[in-house]
Amino acid sequence: MAEAVLRVRDLTVRYGAAPRPAADGVSLELRRGELLGLVGESGSGKTTTAMAILGLIRPPGRVVGGSVSLDGTDLLAIRGRELRRLRWRSISLVPQGAMNALAPVMRVEDQIVDVIRAHERGGPRGRQLRERVHELLATVELPPRVA
């Protein structure tokens, strides 16, 4: 069996003085090439877990326990530019919800291009940029025609 690239161990996240953690003792492993979907009832901690893994928890939220490693890098110990680079190149979140979805009045390609330009300074342009969009669509099994 392949080595896990993402390891989450006993992750616990609290918000302010709430009586119970929003995520309590979450553990999971993800191997290269696998996709992970977090499923649960509303308020069960799915978004909190994903945001904590990505280093996106904001006060009054805080990770109070556990560990998160990606290819051996401690994601809870890095910040800023280094974390932002990892988020784009190595780990991503596809949120569910109308406010996080693609805008129906904009071409999918244009929206993906905006993200590439925000995260890949000096990145591809022109034809190479379009090819990059098609590569990204292929990773989620979507054909280039949806761009």
- Range of 13's domain? 4-94
Give yes or no: residues 13 and 77 share one domain: yes
Together in a domain, 36 and 74: yes
Least reliable range by pLDDT among 66-75, 99-108, 120-129:
99-108
**Long-range pairs for 68-76: beta carbons < 8 A, 24 or more residues apart:** 68/6, 68/7, 68/8, 68/9, 68/11, 69/6, 69/7, 70/5, 70/6, 71/5
Backbone region of residue 118 per phi and psi (left: phi > 0; alpha: psi in -120 to 50; beta: other values):
alpha
Instruction: Specify the pLDDT at position 98.
Output: 57
- Tell whether 112 and 141 lie within a shared domain: yes
| Contact partners, residue 95, CB within 8 Å, separation at least 6 | 47, 50
Q: Considering its fold, how many domains does the chain have in total?
A: 2
Mean pLDDT of the chain: 88
CATH number at residue 13: 3.40.50.300
Q: What is the per-residue pLDDT for 108?
A: 87
Q: Is 72 left (phi over 0), alpha (psi -120 to 50) or beta?
A: left
pLDDT tens digits, 16-52: 999 999 999 999 999 988 888 888 888 899 999 999 9
Q: Above 70 in pLDDT, residue 99? A: no
Please tell me the predicted confidence (pLDDT) of residue 100. Answer: 64
Give 66 or 40, the one with higher predicted confidence. Answer: 66
Distance CA 17, CA 59 (A): 12
Average pLDDT over residues 140-146: 85
